[in-house]
Amino acid sequence: MNKHLDIAPEVAEALAAGRPVVALESTIISHGMPYPKNVETALLVEQTIRDNGAVPATIAVIGGRLKAGLSREEIEYLGRTGRGVAKASRRDLPALVARGADGATTVATTMIIASLAGIRIFATGGIGGVHRGAEKTMDISADLEELAQTPVMVVCAGAKSILDLGLTLEYLETKGVPVIGYGTDELPAFYTRRSGFGVDYRVDSPAELAAMFRAQRELDYPGGMLVTNPIPEEYAMDKAVIDAAIEQALREADAAGIKGKETTPFLLAKVVELTGGDSLESNIQLVLNNARLAARTAAELSR
């Protein structure tokens, strides 16, 4: 085991026994939602994974230690501290470890730590991707590179709709990452169920997802697999409403000079504000939906 890694006892016991485990990110706790909603949601997501037959492993960096599985007190700490905890992507891990610092893990870093711990399935809200205007800014999320090289299945509600979804799919295709639609032929767009862009394959059961991922691992592919799971119909937002909010948020970000790793948290918070909080409830429900699917798939994979 990596000397910088701490695996929580419950998670370690499950892995040793071959029982299903699902990784969870921590950026959603410290940067994605306000306190105390962030802590309530994190604990509810963990319970949802347990209710569906798997063990949750929320991942973070605390005191320079890579953590696979957090205590309730550690989740509370991340939630209360909020953006006082660094948003940690791949490039940040060496500095955080060397300095004994804290970090809330993005999709990319959660994949890295999950893989080090031997966890193969990870549930999140939405992945990062190619930002709008990337042909000028080169703003492309490290999540896409991680999917190309780290053997973890990521279950999400598609790429965040603040992104350029067409270019995100093109990038994933270039990197050889299979994009699977769960019960859909179309890429979900986070707050909405459809984007107008097709996925590579449609799958209709957790057993089929597990079989596909098992085959990928047996073929020794270097990268992971992206499973896109549409937000439940009753929580999906009106596309015109969400598109208008995103366009306004993008204009305000540009006017304020928001760039780099601060872009996504700013845009998501602004969309919550512009939609009167409706997007926050949608965000919570899609994460819970992804947790259920990830747990059921992990259970099939462990058989």
Query: Using one digit for the tens of pLDDT, what is the confidence trace for 76-132?
Result: 999 999 999 999 999 999 999 999 999 999 999 999 999 999 999 999 999 999 987
Which of 21, 32, 80, 102 lies closest to 54, judged by CA? 21
pLDDT 10s digits, 262-277: 777 777 777 778 777 6
Backbone angles phi, psi at 23, to 5 degrees: -80, 150
Q: Which residue has the tokens 């006082």?
A: 84
- CA 59 to the chain's CA centroid: 11
Concerning whether 160 is annotated as a catalytic residue, the answer is: yes
Give the helix/strand (H/E) hosting 166.
helix 165-174
- What is the token pair recorded at 133? 């205007």
Q: Is 239 annotated in the active site? A: no
Q: What is the reported pLDDT for 261?
A: 66
Write out the H or E segment, with its range, that includes residue 41. helix 37-51
Residue of 160, 261, 270, 300 with catalytic role: 160
Strand ranges, E, within the chain: 5-7, 21-24, 55-62, 65-68, 86-88, 103-105, 121-123, 153-156, 179-182, 201-203, 225-228
Residue 220 — left, alpha, or beta (φ > 0 → left; ψ -120 to 50 → alpha)? left
- Dihedral sign (CA 154, 160, 163, 169): positive
CATH number, domain containing residue 294? 3.40.1790.10
As a whole number, mean pLDDT of residues 63-67 equals 98
Cα–Cα nearest to 289, from 106, 48, 28, 22: 48
- Cα separation, 116 vs 135, whole angstroms: 34
pLDDT recorded at residue 243: 80
Q: What is the pLDDT of residues 214-262, one digit of tens each?
A: 999 999 989 999 999 999 999 998 888 878 887 888 788 778 887 766 7
Q: Is the pLDDT of residue 22 over 90?
A: yes
Contact 153, 255 (CB under 8 A): no
Among 171, 166, 170, 228, which Cα is nearest to 197's? 166
Record the tokens describing residue 191, joined without a space: 């707050």
Please list the residues that pair with 182 across neighbouring strands.
Answer: 203
Identified catalytic residue from 25, 74, 76, 300:
25
Least confident window among 51-65, 119-133, 202-216: 119-133
Q: Express each pLDDT in 184-194 by its tens digit.
A: 999 998 889 98
Domain total of the chain: 1
- Helix (H, G, I), strand (E, B), or coil: what is residue 65? strand
Q: Is the model's pLDDT at 281 over the cut of 80?
A: yes
Tokens of 199: 């996925």
Domain that holds residue 264: 5-301
Per-residue pLDDT of 117-173, as tens digits, reads 999 999 999 999 998 777 777 888 999 999 999 999 999 999 877 788 999 999 999
